[in-house]
Structure 1
Amino acid sequence: MFFFHIERKMEALAAILVLLSVDLLSLGVVQTEGGAVEGLSRSTGLFSSVDIFKGIPFADIPKRWEKPTPHPGWSGVLQATKYRERCLQVNLLQTKTQGSEDCLYLNIFVPQGLKLSMNLPVMVYLFGGAFLLGASNDVEVLGQSLYDGVELADRGNVIVVTVNYRVGTLGFLSSGDQRLPGNYGLWDQHAAISWVKRNIEKFGGNPDNMTIFGQSAGAASVSYQMLSPYSRGLFRRAISQCGVALSPWAHQREPFKLLKKIASKVGCWRTDVDLMISCLKMTDPVGVTMAGKIDVLLLLGKGVVMDLLELAPVVDGDFIPDEPSRLFSNTGQFDYMAGVNSMDGHIFAGVDVPSINKRNGNITEQVRGVLAGLTKERTGPIVDRALDLYSSTWGSPPDQALMKKTVADIETDFLFLVPTQTALKLHANGARTYSYLFNMKTRIPGFPAWVEAEHAEDLQYLFGKPFSFALAYFPRHRDLSNYMIKYWTNFARTGDPNQGESRVPVPWPTFTRTYQPYLTINHQMSKSSVRLACTLQSQYVSFPVIGTYPQVPLLKQRDYHPGLPIQRYCPRPP
């Protein structure tokens, strides 16, 4: 009897060991168009893992201010186990450069279960950074990038791809004509998406079910990729998080002026434009890169931070053949999801009016100054009407905390909300469209109590940081992360955030030209999370520098609900 029990226990142990061996299931060596690659496998559970391939080249080393070209390939097996360098760029403090011109690489995260994955949806991520900086493995903490795709891939059962692209002067400098057309960073993104389309089936992905998504400049890049005629049939869906091509910071309207400025900084100013460009091409790339840096100290008290964000895509007659607002007929083939964070503009407002983050100080005149700087109207009816609109809830005497929040709301509207809502309306003529507002309370310490979801704060939840760094978060953060991953990956799988492999907490209605609901995303989701955008049709405020599309109603600030972070929405459900 004793030996019988021992035998049964040994059989059970053997069975467990067999099951545990499933964790080791991986793709192994994968043959791509350039050659064979082999990555690593990371266990994510008893019967799950994620295959990780880092640093796969999707194009050759780019020549200065030229479109990317195919990679020549390699012999043997490429060990895709380390991130490659970011594209040459200034650092965050604008004090020096980092990265390399040899930078066109991507990373792939493939979830595995009891059997090798096949025909999975594919999500290609484009990073943000004002078209000036950033990388596919940016913001590393304890050896893990903010954009590490393991949690998103594993919990959403999708393949996640993150890509590098050229930024700064090497990615977006332009002469405004065919001599130096610009948009090299957009061409890099296109080359990466095309590489994924051609090769992802070998990794278990469905090349006919691809979604591109991005945040900030990456979100605007997603928008540009949708608008470009070169994207026809390339992917099926797109997600813009806090930025679109219509955003005022996402379109360079005076590229030649900027070219001359950069050339002067590096000693290449010439009256002959061809000679000036030739000089730039022969100049040390580090110097050219540093010439594109921004100096926030020059801004204080003299304007708005948006004026310093000079490097951006241009209308080149090729990748972007016309004004972005005139290209939305190209987007009808794509399902689209777009939204903003409740205080996307706060970080920029804090630069323009530093006192909004201080306990004391009267900022009445500074509110007018911000409106004047954004509208490019120092005086006149535009500023007066905008100020009347935003100050209608201040009370008498004005509540200083509310006034400070108003500055953040103004910049959120101008830089993110109004352009995004306009893009959604222009897209709603075509495929399925969804609008959202992310309004989770900020986790950044030191800010006033009224500060809510900052620019880029959504990313930690989408990429599952509350799970991978569990001790740094609370259960409510994991709830939110879970909700976002479900909505995003359902959308990638089916084109409908409500339908897929994951059950969502609240049905998300579609956005149309005549019916414009949005989903409020936070950790407390219920039927009241669905609301309707509220506009005053009789009040129009034009922001001329946004673009040439028709004037749009500025969403009015209203104190309808004490828990509603952006108060420019109707409180009633649709």
Structure 2
Amino acid sequence: MMAKLWILVAVAVFLETVSGASLGVVYTEGGMVEGKNVRLRIGRFMDIFKGVPFAAPPGTFEKPKPHPGWDGVLKTTEYARRCLQVNLIMTETRGSEDCLYLNIWVPQGRSLSSGLPVMVWIFGGGLLVGGSMGANFLDNYLYDGQEIADKGDVIVVTLGYRVGTLGFLSTGEPDLPGNYGLWDQQAAIAWVHRNIRAFGGDPNNITIFGESAGGASVSFQTLTPHNKGLIKRAISQSGVAICPWAVNRNPRKFAEEVAIKVKCPTDDSMAACLKMTDPVDLTMAGTLSLSSSADHPLVFNLLLSAVLDGDFLPDEPHNLFHNAADIDYIAGINDMDGHIFTALDVPSINSPLVNTPVCAVLEDVKRLLGSYTKEKGKAGLDNAYSTYTSTWGSNPSQETIKKTIVEIGTDYIFLIPTQTALYLHASHAITGRTYSYVFSQPNRMAGIGRPYPSWVGADHADDLQYVFGKPFATPLGYWPRHRNVSRYMISYWTNFARTGDPNVGENSVPVNWPEFTDGEKFLEINSKMNKNYVGEKMRLRYVNFWASVFPSLPTVVSE
């Protein structure tokens, strides 16, 4: 009897395994594609398509063009190569010019999914490095969309776009206008809109989301007039279009430096010469300096960025928010987003407290603020210094001073621009809703000695592992509290993608997240969150200084 029972169980499991829904061959505008179907658990499957072309291999310094198509069935089971770029230490290149591909994760039950919300991820990396094509470190693929797709019952798409010189070099003139990487992103979004129905997605419910330079890219994509009607919602994590590093208003200077390195003239024939130069040489010539100090912060070295080209960006970003009036928008930052940058500008903030004289740390505060307020001269520095030291008391601790340095970097590079973008979005909104957050889960490397002191909160990019469900995909590397915060973020993000309201959808959330327009409310996200983690008027004293007091001071040095 027991043997028969085991046979019946085995048959049931077998039938369950083979009878799950699978898309099989999918017809796209370029031709047929076939991915891979994987079984996640009983009754749950995932169709995964890797390396689906969304445009033709791009020409050097040309906008992306439609893919010419292919014959037969294209097997899309392996990631394409990332776009040509320098390695992290900028000594050589990796990747390929032929890189305009995307990846798709489609959750399935026993029957085929249809009408699913679609979430399109834009990776960060300073517009210089990065990719969404396979393992980032050893076998760990940070941007694997499986956990989000499964837990949120949404389709996840990740894409490739040109970075570095090939993606963002510009003369500031029509002969080499720049923004090629942004055009690549836009081509991918448009491809998704045209083709995602065949994969079970709703083309009228597309959410784009990204982090750092990807968050700024998301912001740009909502502001350009070229995406009208394509995007329903958007999430910018630690980056918006009005960040000080997001737009280069004098791109020709760096273009001439690149031209000299590759032996091109810097006269009217420069653009033509650059277009004929080996792409690898162009990429290496676009390396940026990573050396920095409090007197010249790293953020000022990020010269390969978006430009006001009169086409993709027809005006200053702050004048384009009317284009996002009907887009639901979440934007936020990590509470110590600036730590990774200020730690390079002011290395002493990570040194043991007893080893750094207080007077030296105080001088670092003044030097960093002096760099950020240079255009306003002494009045700018004095006002900034009094603002940031107003809560210190007469005898501040080294820890207090070092935290203040991180706060200064976080405010200037991320928080103030993000708050400004939220104000602008809310003030121009017609149907679009606006939500603000700060992510404050402490850094996992803090409190264990080097590299970080125990007081370090959520550093730049710390949110990514939780959004992409790494505590579930690689559970041995995390504690239950990490799974909690990951569950919360995936729930908020996918609810928002489904309904435009992060509180309403298929997943329950721990705290109701009010709209920004309800008294400038924001949600603090971490593993301990409850109703007390809803705040209002984020860092009001500092937002008021940078947004109102500082601009009103007379300019003494042109930027």
TM over 0.5: yes
User: Which of 237-246 and 174-183 deviates more?
Assistant: 174-183
User: Which of 346-355 and 386-395 deviates more?
Assistant: 386-395
SS in 1 for 2:304: coil
Partner of 2:557: none
The C-alpha deviation readout for 1:442-482, integer Å capped at 9, x for no partner, is: 01352011101010110100100000100000110001111
Partner of 1:474: 479
Amino acid corresponding to residue 441 of structure 1 in structure 2: P
Q: Is the 8 A contact 2:86 2:94 kept in 1?
A: yes
SS in 2 for 1:490: helix
Amino acid corresponding to residue 400 of structure 1 in structure 2: Q
The C-alpha deviation readout for 1:136-167, integer Å capped at 9, x for no partner, is: 13653453410000111011100000000001
Select the residue among 77, 83, 102 that pairs with 2:79.
83
Aligned CA distance change for structure 1 residues 10 and 43 (closer, same or farther; 3 Å): closer
- Indicate yes or no: 2:266 matched with 1:312: no
Select the residue among 387, 400, 404 that pairs with 1:402.
400
The C-alpha deviation readout for 1:498-534, integer Å capped at 9, x for no partner, is: 111111111100111x610000000112100111125
Amino acid corresponding to residue 183 of structure 2 in structure 1: W
Query: 2-side partners of 1:382 and 1:301: how far apart?
Result: 16
Partner of 1:252: 248
Q: Is the 8 A contact 1:258 1:310 kept in 2?
A: yes
- Indicate yes or no: 2:34 matched with 1:41: no
SS in 2 for 1:444: coil
Partner of 1:504: 509
Aligned CA distance change for structure 1 residues 214 and 138 (closer, same or farther; 3 Å): farther
SS in 1 for 2:506: coil
Partner of 1:563: none
Query: 2-side partners of 1:12 and 1:100: how far apart?
Result: 49
CA RMSD of aligned residues (A): 2.0
Query: 2-side partners of 1:542 and 1:367: how far apart?
Result: 16
SS in 2 for 1:145: coil
Amino acid corresponding to residue 338 of structure 1 in structure 2: A
Q: Is the 8 A contact 1:125 1:161 kept in 2?
A: yes
Select the residue among 534, 546, 549 that pairs with 1:530.
534
Q: After superposition, where does 1:428-467 map in structure 2 within 5 Å?
A: 428-429=426-427, 430=429, 431-444=432-445, 446=450, 447-467=452-472
SS in 1 for 2:209: strand
Q: Is the 8 A contact 1:119 1:206 kept in 2?
A: yes
Q: After superposition, where does 1:136-151 map in structure 2 within 5 Å?
A: 136-137=132-133, 140-151=136-147
Select the residue among 225, 237, 240 that pairs with 2:236.
240
Partner of 2:88: 92
Query: 1-side partners of 2:277 and 2:174: how far apart?
Result: 20
Q: Is the 8 A contact 1:435 1:517 kept in 2?
A: yes
Query: 2-side partners of 1:392 and 1:224: how far apart?
Result: 36
Query: 1-side partners of 2:543 and 2:77: how far apart?
Result: 56
Aligned CA distance change for structure 1 residues 172 and 138 (closer, same or farther; 3 Å): farther
Amino acid corresponding to residue 461 of structure 1 in structure 2: Y
Partner of 1:155: 151
Aligned CA distance change for structure 1 residues 48 and 539 (closer, same or farther; 3 Å): closer
Q: Is the 8 A contact 1:382 1:542 kept in 2?
A: no
Q: Is the 8 A contact 1:26 1:116 kept in 2?
A: yes
Between the aligned residues of both structures, percent identity stands at 54
Partner of 1:284: 278
Query: 2-side partners of 1:122 and 1:351: how far apart?
Result: 38
SS in 2 for 1:72: coil
Q: Is the 8 A contact 2:387 2:545 kept in 1?
A: no
Q: After superposition, where does 1:276-425 map in structure 2 within 5 Å?
A: 276-297=270-291, 299-300=292-293, 302-359=295-352, 360-361=355-356, 362-377=360-375, 379-425=377-423
Amino acid corresponding to residue 225 of structure 1 in structure 2: Q
Partner of 2:425: 427
Partner of 2:49: 53
Q: Structure 1 residue 115: deviation in Å?
A: 1.2
Partner of 1:204: 200
SS in 2 for 1:248: coil
Partner of 1:182: 178
- Indicate yes or no: 2:106 matched with 1:113: no
Amino acid corresponding to residue 19 of structure 1 in structure 2: E
Q: Is the 8 A contact 1:372 1:378 kept in 2?
A: no
Q: Structure 1 residue 401: deviation in Å?
A: 1.0
Aligned CA distance change for structure 1 residues 539 and 517 (closer, same or farther; 3 Å): closer
- Indicate yes or no: 2:93 matched with 1:127: no
Partner of 2:216: 220
Q: After superposition, where does 1:63-78 map in structure 2 within 5 Å?
A: 63-78=59-74
Partner of 1:562: none
SS in 2 for 1:406: helix
Partner of 1:558: none
Q: Is the 8 A contact 2:79 2:134 kept in 1?
A: no
Q: After superposition, where does 1:1-16 map in structure 2 within 5 Å?
A: 10-16=7-13
The C-alpha deviation readout for 1:402-452, integer Å capped at 9, x for no partner, is: 111111100100010000000001101311000000000101352011101
Q: Is the 8 A contact 1:375 1:543 kept in 2?
A: no
The C-alpha deviation readout for 1:345-402, integer Å capped at 9, x for no partner, is: 0000001101110012131111111111122248411111111111122233331111
Q: Is the 8 A contact 2:294 2:364 kept in 1?
A: no
Matched positions, count: 540
Partner of 2:556: none
Amino acid corresponding to residue 433 of structure 2 in structure 1: R
Q: Structure 1 residue 11: deviation in Å?
A: 4.1
Aligned CA distance change for structure 1 residues 537 and 454 (closer, same or farther; 3 Å): closer
Aligned CA distance change for structure 1 residues 102 and 332 (closer, same or farther; 3 Å): same
Q: Is the 8 A contact 1:163 1:189 kept in 2?
A: yes
User: Which of 371-380 and 313-322 deviates more?
Assistant: 371-380
Amino acid corresponding to residue 415 of structure 1 in structure 2: I
Query: 2-side partners of 1:494 and 1:538: how far apart?
Result: 33
Partner of 1:555: none
Query: 1-side partners of 2:529 and 2:370: how far apart?
Result: 38
Q: Give the TM-score normalised by the residue count of structure 2.
A: 0.93
Query: 1-side partners of 2:229 and 2:42: how far apart?
Result: 38
Q: Structure 1 residue 200: deviation in Å?
A: 0.5
Select the residue among 523, 536, 550 that pairs with 1:519.
523
Aligned CA distance change for structure 1 residues 231 and 96 (closer, same or farther; 3 Å): same
The C-alpha deviation readout for 1:105-160, integer Å capped at 9, x for no partner, is: 00001111121111100000000000111111365345341000011101110000
Query: 1-side partners of 2:137 and 2:113: how far apart?
Result: 29
Partner of 2:491: 486
Query: 1-side partners of 2:130 and 2:187: how far apart?
Result: 18
Q: Structure 1 residue 18: deviation in Å?
A: 2.2
Aligned CA distance change for structure 1 residues 138 and 15 (closer, same or farther; 3 Å): closer
Query: 2-side partners of 1:113 and 1:551: how far apart?
Result: 58
Aligned CA distance change for structure 1 residues 374 and 129 (closer, same or farther; 3 Å): same
Query: 2-side partners of 1:194 and 1:536: how far apart?
Result: 38
SS in 2 for 1:206: strand
Amino acid corresponding to residue 358 of structure 1 in structure 2: S
The C-alpha deviation readout for 1:145-193, integer Å capped at 9, x for no partner, is: 1000011101110000000000111101111121111110000000000
Q: Is the 8 A contact 1:541 1:551 kept in 2?
A: no
Q: Is the 8 A contact 1:219 1:240 kept in 2?
A: yes
Q: Is the 8 A contact 2:343 2:349 kept in 1?
A: yes
Amino acid corresponding to residue 507 of structure 1 in structure 2: N
Structure 1: runs of 5 or more not aligned: 553-574
